[in-house]
Amino acid sequence: MTIASKTPTSRLPDVVGAEHVSSDPAELSAYATDGKLPSAIVRPGSTEEVIEIVKYAATEKLALIAIGARTKLGIGLPPARYDIALDMTRLSRIIAYDPGDLTLSVEAGVPLRKVAEALAEHRQFLPLSVPFFDRATVGGTIASGVDTPLRQFYGTARDYVLGMEFVLGEGVRSKSGGNVVKNVTGYDLHKLMIGSLGTLGVITRVNFKTFPMPVASRGFVATFENLDRAMEMRNRVVQSALNPMTFDLLSPRAADLFSSPAADRLTKSPMPAGVVSRGHWALTIGYSGNENVLSRYEAELRRMAAESSAADVVVLGDGAPAATFAFKREFIPIALESSPATTIVKISVLSARLKDALIAAIKAADANQLPWAVMARSLGVIYFALLPAEHSQASNRQVVTATNQILDASVSLGANVTIPWCPSEWKTALKIWGPERSDLPQMQKVKKVFDPLGIFSPGRFIGGI
**Per-residue pLDDT tens for 445-463?**
999 999 999 999 999 999 9
Confidence of residue 181 (pLDDT cuts 50, 70, 90): low
Q: Residue 402 above 90 pLDDT?
A: yes
Question: Residues of the chain with pLDDT > 70: what percent?
Answer: 97
141-151: average pLDDT = 96
3-state secondary structure of 217: strand
Q: Which residues contact 368 (CB under 8 A, 6 or more apart)?
A: 398, 399, 401, 402, 405
Q: Output the pLDDT for position 323.
A: 80
DSSP codes of every residue in 121-173? TTTEE-S---TTTTT-BHHHHHHHT---TTHHHH--GGGTEEEEEEE-TTS-E
Q: Residue 6 above 50 pLDDT?
A: no
Q: Output the pLDDT for position 57.
A: 96
Q: Residue 432 above 70 pLDDT?
A: yes
How confident is the prediction for the chain on average, in pLDDT?
A: 94
Question: Residues of the chain with pLDDT > 90: what percent?
Answer: 87
Q: Which residues contact 332 (CB under 8 A, 6 or more apart)?
A: 131, 146, 344, 383, 385, 421
Q: Indicate the range of 180-189, 193-202, 287-296, 332-341 predicted with least confidence.
A: 180-189
Q: Output the pLDDT for position 267.
A: 84
Sign for the CA dihedral angle at 40, 45, 47, 49 comes to negative
Q: Residue 5 above 60 pLDDT?
A: no
Q: Output the pLDDT for position 117.
A: 97
263-274: average pLDDT = 82
Radius of gyration, CA atoms only, the chain? 22
Q: Output the pLDDT for position 10.
A: 73
Q: Output the pLDDT for position 251.
A: 97
Are residues 207 and 282 in contact, defined by beta-carbon separation less than 8 angstroms? Answer: no
Of how many residues is the chain composed? 465
Q: Rounded CA gap, 207 and 100, in Å?
A: 15
4-27: average pLDDT = 82
385-409: average pLDDT = 97
Q: Output the pLDDT for position 179.
A: 73
Q: Output the pLDDT for position 7.
A: 56
pTM reported for the whole predicted model: 0.94
Q: Residue 3 above 60 pLDDT?
A: no
Q: Which candidate, 69, 71, 9, 72, places its Cα nearest to that of 42?
A: 9
Q: Which candidate, 302, 285, 148, 282, places its Cα nearest to that of 226?
A: 282
Confidence of residue 192 (pLDDT cuts 50, 70, 90): very high
Between strands 372-377 and 312-316, the pairing is: unpaired
Q: Which residues contact 16 (CB under 8 A, 6 or more apart)?
A: 42, 43, 44, 45, 49, 53
Confidence of residue 1 (pLDDT cuts 50, 70, 90): low
